[in-house]
Amino acid sequence: MTVTDILLLALGAVAAGSALRVVTTTHIVRAGLWLVVALGAMAACYLVLTAELVAWVQVLIYVGAVVVLLLFATMLTRAPIGPSPELDRARFPAALIGLGSGGGLAALFIFGYRWGKAELAAPGTAGVLGKEIFSGWVLPFEVLSILLLAALVGAIVVSRGERS
């Protein structure tokens, strides 16, 4: 086992453990804070896999913006300190879906790769990723930007409300 393997295992354990805390804790804001830990550990995994840019994009977008917006919205509406069990719902459907999709993905990977060794791609520096995106992946990139634009326009339309 190399240092990389050990680091990946440890970070994966942190990510899985804190993800579990996100769904088991009864403190609603703490759930959001555990999500920060889980996403941070994921970013660290990317870093270990030498996908530098993706790791910091993860921090910038997910930790710095998405979770913050989530916390912000929770605090604007209802965020009591202490447990709020009345917000809980029956767990087993969610557990079923979570375990099913997680297990399915794991099975897919195991059948896809077996225990063979995959070639490690070149480190994901900004230059490499930029070349990839703007050569092989231009069309998906542009389609995604149209999707985001549509979402933006939709948000504006929704927030302006009905014209009387």
Partner 1 sequence: MGAAPVILDIAIRLAAVLVAFLTLPLIVGQMEHKVMAHMQGRLGPMYAGAFHGWAQLIADGVKFVQKEEIVPDAADRRVFRLAPILALLPYLLILMVIPLGPDGLVAQGLDIGLFFVLAVMGVGVVAVLMAAWSSGSKYSLLGGLRAAAQLLGYELPLVLSAASVAMAAGTLSLSGIVEAWQPWWLAWQLPALFVFFTAGLAELRRPPFDAPIADSELVFGYMTEYTGLRFAFFLLAEYVGIVVISALTTVLFLGGWKGPFLDDSLGWAWTLLKTMAVAFVIIWLRVAYPRLREDQIQRFCWLGLVPLALAQLVLTAVVKVA
Binding region for partner 1 (CB under 8 A): 27, 29-30, 33, 36, 52-53, 56-57, 59-60, 63-65, 67-69, 71-72, 75-76, 79, 81-82, 125-126
User: Between residues 72 and 109, which has the closer beta carbon with respect to partner 1?
Assistant: 72
User: Residue 139 CB, nearest distance to partner 1 (Å)?
Assistant: 22
Q: Residue 107 burial (CB < 10 Å; 0-12/13-18/19+)?
A: exposed
Sign of CA dihedral 8, 12, 15, 21: negative
User: Residue 114 CB, nearest distance to partner 1 (Å)?
Assistant: 34
User: Residue 72 CB, nearest distance to partner 1 (Å)?
Assistant: 5
| Tokens describing residue 123 | 């480190």
User: Between residues 8 and 37, which has the closer beta carbon with respect to partner 1?
Assistant: 37
| Tokens describing residue 143 | 């389609």
Q: Could you give phi then psi for residue 23, rounded to 5 degrees?
A: -90, -15
User: Residue 124 CB, nearest distance to partner 1 (Å)?
Assistant: 10
What Cα–Cα distance (Å) separates residue 87 from each residue in 24, 76, 81, 110, 127?
A: 12, 16, 13, 37, 46
User: Between residues 42 and 71, which has the closer beta carbon with respect to partner 1?
Assistant: 71
The residue assigned the tokens 């190399």 is 2
User: Between residues 82 and 161, which has the closer beta carbon with respect to partner 1?
Assistant: 82
